[in-house]
Amino acid sequence: MYLSAKSSLIWFVMNGILQNLYTLQTLDLGGSKADPTQAAALRAGIPDWMLANYDRARARGKKGIALVRNHVCTNCRMQVPVAVTASLTAGMIQVCGNCGLYLCLPQPDEQAAPVPVAREVKRRKKKVPA
Ligand SMILES: [Zn+2]
């Protein structure tokens, strides 16, 4: 699948927002060590409605966003449908159907770490009997 210039731009923007939110959460979870200037800069790049949801979750002591690794939500460990991962890749915002957190794909450099990509592709191609 090839992305058009327009959808690559959307991907770039949305992926940036989700990465900002994830980085913000990493800072917030770091507690007192967090740099308030950096947190403010990240917040400036995240839409208000998304921040409101995130802050509500954080106020209840929960996380606001989780990474999806190998089609698994890293917060609740439930498998995420392939369609959800695909739309994340296409730059859409998705929430976990189980725990309700915003989902975000790992940065390309950390994506390869746990499971080799080749194995993942082979598993996804397997036909599931209806
Ligand atoms: Zn989840």
Q: At 42, which CATH number?
A: 1.10.287.1490
Cβ–Cβ under 8 Å, residues 94 and 87: yes
Question: What is the whole-number distance in angstroms between the Cα of residue 55 and the centre of ligand 1?
Answer: 17
Cβ–Cβ under 8 Å, residues 106 and 67: yes
Question: What is the whole-number distance in angstroms between the Cα of residue 4 and the centre of ligand 1?
Answer: 30
**The pLDDT value given to residue 108:** 72
Question: What is the whole-number distance in angstroms between the Cα of residue 97 and the centre of ligand 1?
Answer: 7
Q: Which residues surround ligand 1, an ion (CB under 5 A)?
A: 73, 75-76, 96, 98-99
3-state secondary structure of 30: coil
Q: What is the pLDDT of residues 17-58, one digit of tens each?
A: 999 999 999 999 887 666 789 999 999 999 999 999 999 999
* Residue 26 domain-assigned (yes or no): yes
- Backbone phi and psi for residue 66, each to the nearest 5 degrees, phi listed first: -130, 150
Q: How many structural domains comprise the chain?
A: 1
- 48 by Cβ neighbours in 10 Å (0-12 / 13-18 / 19+) ranks as exposed
* Residue 118 domain-assigned (yes or no): no
Question: What is the whole-number distance in angstroms between the Cα of residue 11 and the centre of ligand 1?
Answer: 22
6-10, 55-59, 76-80, 122-126: least confident range: 122-126
Mean pLDDT of 80-89: 94
Residue 63 has pLDDT above 90, yes or no: yes
* Residue 112 domain-assigned (yes or no): no
Residue 120 has pLDDT above 80, yes or no: no
Residue 112 has pLDDT above 60, yes or no: no
Q: Which domain holds residue 97?
A: 5-104
* Residue 129 domain-assigned (yes or no): no
Q: Is 70 left (phi over 0), alpha (psi -120 to 50) or beta?
A: left
